[in-house]
Chains A and B, each alone.
Chain A
Amino acid sequence: DSGVTQTPKHLITATGQRVTLRCSPRSGDLSVYWYQQSLDQGLQFLIQYYNGEERAKGNILERFSAQQFPDLHSELNLSSLELGDSALYFCASSVEVGTQYFGPGTRLLVL
């Protein structure tokens, strides 16, 4: 157990819908990262927050957004969902460079 928690574990929804994925980092970790893992693209970095502020952005679609709250938990919002958004979404947290610890992931299926 990495200490990073993610909810829900599984999510099934329809195209055009909006969902929110939640992540709680390890105690004391100020950075939260979101990654998407699909069969054809592998693990791709989406976005990073550090102590409530956006720090880095990767290949995140405009339909996706994220935020980190004062208690350091983070939410990833996915809207206008498409079939191709079906993937595993991971949250990771760290206190310093290099040591990112991943949560168990949320498996999203868009039908």
Chain B
Amino acid sequence: QKEVEQDPGPLSVPEGAIVSLNCTYSNSAFQYFMWYRQYSRKGPELLMYTYSSGNKEDGRFTAQVDKSSKYISLFIRDSQPSDSATYLCAMSALSGNEKLTFGTGTRLTIIP
């Protein structure tokens, strides 16, 4: 079983819809949670970064972490065609060992 599970999709939604992306994890040592966006053949771009449980909002993006359920989410409001990309969740432990463990990524398409 992988440490981080993410539905690979693909996920297609109409423009303007709210998008919900999720990851589950098994390692309770994870304390830092990130969402990256990756366009085709490009490097991952950091979107959101949260520490421990709670919510964080940045513009149209909201990240939620529920450590009790080992479940994280990214919500995209008023989705735009430019949001079409692969979204990767990533996590790291509070150990000084700062490697990131990634989900497999969800491919998202916003239909105009």
| Contact surface of A with B, Cβ cutoff 8 Å | 2, 4, 31, 33, 35, 42-45, 48, 55-56, 58, 88, 90, 92, 94, 97-105, 107
Given A56-B97, A99-B49, the answer on whether A42 and B103 have CB atoms closer than 8 Å is yes
C-alpha spacing A92/B90, complex, angstroms? 13
Q: B98: which A residues are within 8 A, CB to CB?
A: 31, 33, 48, 55-56, 94, 97-98, 100
B101 → chain A closest CB, angstroms: 7
C-alpha spacing A90/B36, complex, angstroms? 14
A-B contact count (CB 8 A): 67
B17 at the interface (CB under 8 A from A): no
Are the C-beta atoms of B102 and A42 separated by less than 8 Å? yes
The contact size tier of chain B is 20 to 34
C-alpha spacing A54/B64, complex, angstroms? 33
Are the C-beta atoms of A90 and B43 separated by less than 8 Å? yes
Tell me what chain A mostly uses at the interface: helix, strand, loop, or mixed. Answer: strand
Are the C-beta atoms of A2 and B92 separated by less than 8 Å? no
Q: B97: which A residues are within 8 A, CB to CB?
A: 48, 55-56
Q: Which of A92, A99, A100, A105 is the most central at the interface, judged by chain B CB atoms within 10 Å of its CB?
A: A100
B100 at the interface (CB under 8 A from A): yes
Are the C-beta atoms of A101 and B41 separated by less than 8 Å? no
C-alpha spacing A63/B3, complex, angstroms? 26
A35 → chain B closest CB, angstroms: 8
Are the C-beta atoms of B32 and A98 separated by less than 8 Å? yes
6 closest A-B pairs by beta carbon, nearest first, are: A102-B43, A98-B32, A45-B99, A43-B102, A42-B104, A102-B44
Q: A97: which B residues are within 8 A, CB to CB?
A: 32, 92, 94, 98
B43 → chain A closest CB, angstroms: 4
Partner of B99, one of A2, A56, A101, A105: A56
The contact string, 1 if C-beta is below 8 Å from chain A, for chain B 35-48, is 01000011111100
